[in-house]
Structure 1
Amino acid sequence: MVNFIITSLLWTFALYGLFEICKTIIHIHKYPKVSFNGSSFIITVHNQENNIEYFLRVFIYKMLYYNLNISEIIIVDLDSTDNTLNILKTFSKDFDFIKVLTLNEYKELLA
Structure 2
Amino acid sequence: MNYTFLLYSDPTGFADMTEDDWAREKEVYGAYIGALQEAGVFVSTDWLQPAMTATTLSVQNGKTRIENGPFAETTETLGGYFVIDVPDLDAAIAWAEKCPAAQYGKVEIRATAMGGD
Q: Report the TM-score, using the length of structure 1 for normalisation.
A: 0.33
Higher strand proportion: 2
Structure (1 or 2) with the greater helix fraction: 1
TM-score by length of 2: 0.32
The answer to which structure, 1 or 2, has the higher relative contact order (CA under 8 A, 6+ apart) is 2
